[in-house]
Amino acid sequence: MEDIVGLCKRRGFIFQSSEIYGGYNGFYDYGPLGVELRNNIKQAWWRDFVQRRDDMEGLDSTIIMHPKIWKASGHVDGFSDPMVDCKESKLRYRADQLFFAPVIVEGEKIGYVSVVESIDQQEVAEKAAAEMKRKMAKQGELGPIELKEYTEAAPEEYELIPSPATGKPGSLTEPREFKLMFETKVGPLADDSATAYLRPETAQGIFANYKNIVDTGRVKIPFGIAQIGKAFRNEITPRNFIFRSREFEQMEIEYFIAPSADWKALHREWIDTCTDWLVSIGLPREGITEDIHPEDKLAFYSQATTDLMFDFPHGEQELWGIACRSDYDLKQHQEHSGKSMTIFDEATKEKYVPHVIEPSLGVDRTLLAVLTAAYTEDEVPNDKGKVEKRTVMKFSPKIAPVKAAIFPLLKNKPELVEVAEKLYKKLQRRWNVFYDASGAIGRRYRRQDEIGTPYGITIDFDTVEKDGTVTLRDRDTCEQRRVSEAELIEFLEEQIDG
Ligand code: ATP
């Protein structure tokens, strides 16, 4: 993770928000390359799920909506996480991400250890327990350390469990509910009636517009509505870089189906489609696994949820949630708004409130997954044939921030520069390409490797004196071949837009 964060800052992908004021926890800014990568991910998703499908409509709803929407959806009353405060350090933890265990030596409980969720939490806890035993000079065998979530602690244990911040017991509070929605006031009045919320998900904007879209007459069951947009959650412990932040973006679909449809088969279809899409933008299939939520942990209205998990630097974590939410949301809005949410199914001549499958993906988490998968350190020969270490971002050409770099072999030869600039201008009309004339060609390649530009195009004397062909270099294999301009454009088209 440190390598990725370092490269992101150095090369202008991602910056800590408000850095000149010391940063602002849970907020990130996307720099020149980051915004390209991010836009490319969103465009690829929009193209594949909206424009290239016949059963999907797009939507862009507002971030602030009528507060009644959040009442109907259950967010006003239920959208919170249990949290724990450390009264001494003033740090705040999510209770389901804080773990504790009693330390037992020869059957006697000598104290407690606590750890914040991490890949090596077990190891950290065992070390702390061994240290406690040593400090207290206890003889005998240390019992196994069995970590439990802080939410499972008995009330009498709260003051015995040490705070991870201070290492001492007595400063942790009991778990308390913490509202995740950001509040604001709309209009001139500052009283409670003016309270509104920044949306914590884009999904409700879809449900709120479902009737509008059905009334346009463009859709028939089954169909989906897709939306990309910002979402805000006042996360208690934003962490792991852009994995969990307070302002992020979602790409969500509500796919409406008949109540009698084989939802299990359709759910499976969506899980497969989503997995294939992640692979199509360059994630390794073996890095993606499925986490099927056990039935007893599902919300009462949910029929099934499967999360696509990705092997992030900080462990295997949720990337894409794919939930079967029955007709719960539409029925809630029907009840709260008094407007009918039924649709007439032409095929079966029935009228009903449809059920829904909801694939919900974070743009920022996808970007972190893409950065993780792309980050590679390898060794390649330099100009003089000497093997050198290089850092290379192996982005898929579909989403790479810069698609190709155009280099005149020498910058002081006007005939090379002229042809190179002409080609650059031509390619720039279609793609984000980069022109670089300075430095040794090997160094220029290396700079592009580090930002993940898939293709290097060099204009040399053969180009201007012989046949007009250029050298096309592949970022990953470093192989070079000569191609004509027409071949080059056809190749780029297939790789980038295919
Ligand atoms: P988690 O359990 O990690 O908090 P969640 O189950 O609450 O996530 P959903 O409400 O299902 O997440 O949101 C759908 C998707 O939105 C997630 O799969 C994730 O990709 C993204 N997402 C959710 N919360 C955040 C966040 N704080 N920062 C970045 N992305 C997020």
The answer to whether 207 and 72 are in contact (CB under 8 A) is no
Please tell me if the CB atom of residue 73 comes closer than 6 angstroms to any atom of ligand 1. no
Element (H, E) at 316: strand 315-326
Q: How far apart are CA 350 and CA 348, in angstroms?
A: 5
Q: How far apart are CA 209 and CA 225, in angstroms?
A: 9
Residue with CA closest to ligand 1 atom 23: 362
Residue with CA closest to ligand 1 atom 4: 244
Q: In angstroms, what CA-CA distances link 193 with 66, 96, 222, 472?
A: 11, 33, 38, 63
The answer to whether 78 and 260 are in contact (CB under 8 A) is no
Please tell me if the CB atom of residue 200 comes closer than 6 angstroms to any atom of ligand 1. no
Q: How far is the CA of 319 from the centre of ligand 1 (A)?
A: 8
The answer to whether 245 and 26 are in contact (CB under 8 A) is yes
The answer to whether 246 and 262 are in contact (CB under 8 A) is no
How does strand 433-435 pair with strand 404-408? parallel
Across 40-187, where does the E strand assignment appear? 56-59, 80-85, 92-94, 98-105, 108-116, 148-149, 176-179, 183-185
The CA radius of gyration of the chain, in Å to the nearest whole number, is: 27
Q: How far is the CA of 60 from the centre of ligand 1 (A)?
A: 20
- The closest of 281, 289, 293, 278 to 315, measured between CA atoms, is 289
pLDDT by residue for the chain (498 residues), tens only, comes to 999 999 999 999 999 999 999 999 999 999 999 999 999 999 999 999 999 999 999 999 999 999 999 999 999 998 888 999 999 999 999 999 999 999 999 999 999 999 999 888 999 999 999 999 999 999 999 999 999 999 999 999 999 999 999 999 999 999 999 899 999 999 988 888 899 999 999 999 999 999 999 999 889 999 999 999 999 999 988 889 999 999 999 999 999 999 999 999 999 999 999 999 999 999 999 999 999 999 988 888 899 999 999 999 999 999 999 999 999 999 999 999 999 999 999 999 999 999 999 999 999 999 999 999 999 999 988 777 888 899 999 999 999 999 999 999 999 999 999 999 999 999 999 999 999 999 988 899 999 999 999 999 999 998 988 888 999 999 999 999 999 999 999 999 999 998
**For the chain, the helix, strand and coil percentages under 3-state DSSP, each to the nearest 5:** 35, 30, 35
SS3 at position 80:
strand
pTM for this entry: 0.89
SS3 at position 331:
helix
Task: Calculate the dihedral angle through the C-alpha atoms of 252, 256, 259, 263, rounding to the nearest 10 degrees.
Answer: -50
Q: How far is the CA of 362 from the centre of ligand 1 (A)?
A: 7
